[in-house]
Chain A
């Protein structure tokens, strides 16, 4: 029973989805425990006392938190369907882009999504600049990792889905196939991978949820 794998997540968390994809790509059996963020279970608080967040992976009686840390743990533990390349330099590049997704792209996109009026207008050009950087990186490649899906693709995976949801909610179009051909192609390639395709949360449910998040932020007058 020590090989049991459990994943604490919510149906919509993009961070938790990364772990679902990694486990599915490697063909690892696991049990899902769905959390209600407004009413966190005692188990979640026990297994992630520092951040109290999903996702949390439970394996061999030990808990691992933080999605990128969990992805590395999965890669270190299960050697099939590798998510990282062989050479240290290519590994460093994969890490670099995975980090870029969280440290640069996500904040820029949220900033557009959680604002309105002049603030939103001003948030758009920096977000597009960042998308251009990603477009440049993807030129001539099927995935961030080259020919096969890897860690950086999984880190950016939220973009392949949430970007459209956020565009629908705000009525804004941040990217299109004309100006971002490589990025558009990557979104299609990534979304077509069976492990990914079979695990998208339902679109309408995402629209409803993120619409509510946006309204809550705007009402609170949050500037982030």
Chain B
């Protein structure tokens, strides 16, 4: 039962991969919602009121109830719109695998990617690329275990872990461009290369993740801003 647009609001910003996760989940369930864009550098009254603890996007407001933290929101969407395609698998062990690797992506993998984008000098950059490559090998293996030969971590269709990881694809590609490196290596992680294409072109995803060039521009802007701030 899809609610009326006014019943469901998503506070977010287009370039945020965490916000993209929620958008993809809502698209998968074919749910209508109102997108309230937060302006970069300021926080709206509604955001501060709905997420007083963290003051961060995304926040999903369902009726009068706010739900925070991207993956918690994704699970909420999965449970509320239970008649749509399942996002989390039903088997407890498969669910554990999806959760384990989603935690790995948030706690370790994306930290390594950020380190690459801020790395100073060739040595630091090479070390960061090495760490990311190790992570990619682990995720290639996870794709096999979770997907069991199918195109997605969720099997035939996009699931929780696809959303958790795939939401970063735009930024991963932008980082490749900015740092002049290749993170998706056809020779080393062929499964992930195919997966990245399948995910990015999926109906629920293709209009969500921003264009890579736009993200490259944004990254340059953030870096310039950070540098001018530290210079002051």
- Using a CB–CB cutoff of 8 Å, the interface residues on chain A facing chain B are 50, 60, 62, 64-66, 68-70, 72-73, 76-77, 88-89, 91-92, 95-96, 99-100, 133
Contact = CB atoms under 8 A, between A and B. Distances in A.
Contacts of B73: 92
B75 A64 contact: no
Interface string B65-82: 101110011011001100
Interface stretch (B93-101, B189-197, B199-207): B93-101
B96 A89 contact: no
Contacts of B80: 88
Given A65-B100, A99-B69, A72 B95 contact: yes
Contact of B67 (A50, A69, A73, A89): A89
Contacts of A100: 53
B77 to A, nearest CB: 9
Contacts of B68: 96
A91 B88 CA distance: 15
Interface of B: 53, 62, 65, 67-69, 72-73, 75-76, 79-80, 92-93, 95-96, 99-100, 103-104, 138
Nearest to A98: B72
Contacts of A50: 104, 138
A91 B103 CA distance: 18
Contacts of B93: 60, 62, 64, 73
Nearest to B135: A50
B53 A133 contact: yes
A72 B72 CA distance: 13
Contacts of B53: 100, 133
B72 A95 contact: yes
Given A72-B96, A73-B93, A99-B72, 5 more contacts: A60-B93, A68-B103, A76-B92, A88-B79, A88-B80
B207 to A, nearest CB: 26
Contacts of A73: 92-93, 95-96
B96 A64 contact: yes
Contacts of A95: 69, 72, 75
A91 B78 CA distance: 12
A69 B72 contact: no
A69 B103 contact: yes
A92 B67 contact: yes
A1 to B, nearest CB: 17
A76 B69 contact: no
A66 B75 contact: no
Given A50-B104, A66-B100, A69-B103, A91 B79 contact: yes
